[in-house]
A and B are shown apart, each in its own frame.
Chain A
Amino acid sequence: MSVTGFFTDSTLCIGCKACEVACKEWNDVPADGFRFSGRSYDNTLSLGHSTWRHVKFVEREPVVGRGGNAPELMAWEFSSDVCKHCENAGCLEACPTGSIVRTEFGGVYVQPDVCNGCGYCVVSCPFGVIDRRPDDGRAFKCTFCYDRQRAGEVPACAKACPTESILFGNLDELQKIADARIEKLHAFGMTDATIYNPKNTSVGGTHAFFLIRGDARAYNLPMSPQVPTTLLPVAWTSAAIAAGVLAIGSLLAFALSPRERVARSAG
């Protein structure tokens, strides 16, 4: 089975949120609040246990010559975010029950019948995607529509996207499409268009990658995400030293001390 991916092109997104709705519908994801945020058209604010696709509305100062916008208009970009399905996935490594697995399509999937809600995946995701659903107790995130993929179907968000901003397909093919798209946009003069796919970090690239404009941080995407397992050698070395000092220190403290000066006096 080939490794599949999402290529989400923000320059084609119109901010319609059909992906958010399709995802909720297909996956039976519960509502998670009706709040007015005041932050552009984004009342959803982030991915979470009950938001597996999230359209970001990035408003910026007008930049003359920024292709696609008239110079006098504020730059307004939309980008549909999703679980990155990391090559080296922090949540998958951290999961102590083996609930989180890599599927035959290369996606990262939480088996709901195994998860016991320990919450360790939540602090191990460098993208802040996975979270524990309070009323349910288990951790949830995008399943990459594992059920649909198994049936040979396209994930719900990609299926519903009216502009093909969300492309689903073979990961290598998508890379080629993305490279061609970047070339085209640069030729148009949209020179700030870049691919966000952190291949040169310990995450080792993502199966869901993005075409964005300018600084990734404006899209709440980290410059240099790291999979926490890279910290394990330092952490366990420190623990081994601490355990050694505690053991030898305790033995020495007693070996070198005189007997109890006063017998136990109180209970």
Chain B
Amino acid sequence: MENYYDLPLLKKPVWTWEVPVYFFVGGAAGAAAMIGIAAQLSDADKRLVRDARWIAAIGANLSAPLLIADLGRPSRFLNMLRVFKPQSPMSVGAWLLAAFGGASTAAIILPRRSGDTAAVASALTGLGMATYTGVLLGATSIPVWSTHVALLPVHFAASAAGSAVSMLELRGHRHDGLNAIGLAAALFETITGARIEMNDDLESTPLRRGPTGTITRIGGVLSGPVPFLLRLLGARSKKTRRLAAASTIVGSLLTRLAWVGAGRASARDPRPALGG
């Protein structure tokens, strides 16, 4: 196929490790806020509700520094809130994070009723936190991301939900609701991993080949089939559930690193972007 000396057409993403780590932390925090509300409404253990709120708040307060560190001009981070542009997922995300940060922090600081109200706001914006990063990657010119635009938000949400329940389980909680959410997330991640393996389109090559392919595969196995089987077969064993939780967290983090890495690899290949 004709191209220009095999040189890349597109520019590779400039984001460093902070951004995929943020995808993981922010997503898990967002899902934790939702799980906290679900636990509260079902009258679950108060300590579970409290821990979910803390995970949301800590995650939110780690997210902002991660994103600011990745800016080319960190001192200008407030320019992110200079305008609101619905057509820019980055702008929507900046406002979402600002709202989620405020609400999730208020949910652990404010007493009783006002804390509960903040927790509801935190859960609503948390749902955005768990999903918008998929939009952020999908709606770009990078072929491996844009070809999976419909998958990414759901994939990241499943990954976030899996991580959030796993963090709560590692804190010692053993509610069956957590296991059910973990099981559903792991099942979705198993199917997603299998679909990626079966894709043989040019755009998806970085998800199957090279270093990014390897990380995608390891991340997929650790957050998909491994926790799925462990949760299905060993739900009653504390040790097994802890193992499933640890595997999910590592897998979820690797998955985000793999997707951003795959974006870099994708930008290097001129063929899918040139089309034909």
Enumerate chain A interface residues (CB-CB to B < 8 A). Answer: 39-40, 42, 45-46, 48, 56, 58, 90, 93-99, 114-120, 122-133, 136-139, 215, 217-224, 226, 228-229, 231-232, 234-243, 245-247, 249-251, 253-267
User: B130–A242 contact, CB under 8 A?
Assistant: yes
B25 CB-CB contact with A under 8 Å = no
Show 8 residue pairs from A and B whose CB-CB distance is below 8 angstroms, ordered by the A residue: A98-B83, A228-B146, A238-B154, A239-B131, A239-B157, A254-B42, A256-B180, A264-B171
The answer to whether A239 and B135 touch (CB under 8 A), given A228-B146, A253-B177, is yes
**Chain B residue at smallest Cβ distance from A231:** B139
- Number of A-B residue pairs at CB separation under 8 A: 283
User: B146–A231 contact, CB under 8 A?
Assistant: yes
Q: Which of B44, B73, B79, B146 contacts A137 (CB 8 A)?
A: B73
User: A251–B154 contact, CB under 8 A?
Assistant: no
Q: Which residues of B from 4 to 50 have beta carbons under 8 Å from A?
A: 4-5, 7-15, 31, 34-35, 37-39, 41-42, 44-45, 47-48
Known pairs A254-B175, A264-B174. 12 more at Cβ < 8 A?
A: A42-B5, A96-B91, A116-B80, A118-B70, A119-B70, A120-B136, A123-B141, A126-B141, A235-B153, A237-B150, A249-B161, A264-B47
Q: Which of A125, A223, A245, A246 contacts B275 (CB 8 A)?
A: A223
The interface residues of chain B, by DSSP majority, are classed as helix
Enumerate chain B interface residues (CB-CB to A < 8 A). Answer: 1-5, 7-15, 31, 34-35, 37-39, 41-42, 44-45, 47-48, 70-74, 76-77, 79-80, 82-83, 85, 87-91, 93-94, 123, 127-128, 130-132, 134-136, 138-142, 145-146, 149-154, 156-158, 160-161, 171-178, 180-181, 184, 238, 263, 267, 270, 273-276
User: A222–B152 contact, CB under 8 A?
Assistant: no
CB distance from B14 to the nearest CB of A (A): 4
A238 to B145, CA, bound (A): 14
User: B73–A115 contact, CB under 8 A?
Assistant: yes
User: A223–B14 contact, CB under 8 A?
Assistant: no
**Chain A residues whose C-beta falls within 8 Å of the C-beta of B127 in the assembled complex:** 243, 246-247
A-B residue pairs, 6 tightest by C-beta: A117-B72, A137-B72, A116-B76, A220-B4, A257-B176, A96-B91
User: A128–B8 contact, CB under 8 A?
Assistant: yes
CB distance from A267 to the nearest CB of B (A): 6
Q: Which of A96, A218, A221, A234 contacts B150 (CB 8 A)?
A: A234
User: B153–A239 contact, CB under 8 A?
Assistant: yes
A263 to B47, CA, bound (A): 10
| Residue from B5, B47, B71 whose CB has the most chain A CB atoms within 10 Å | B5
User: A220–B135 contact, CB under 8 A?
Assistant: no
User: A117–B73 contact, CB under 8 A?
Assistant: yes
User: B273–A126 contact, CB under 8 A?
Assistant: yes
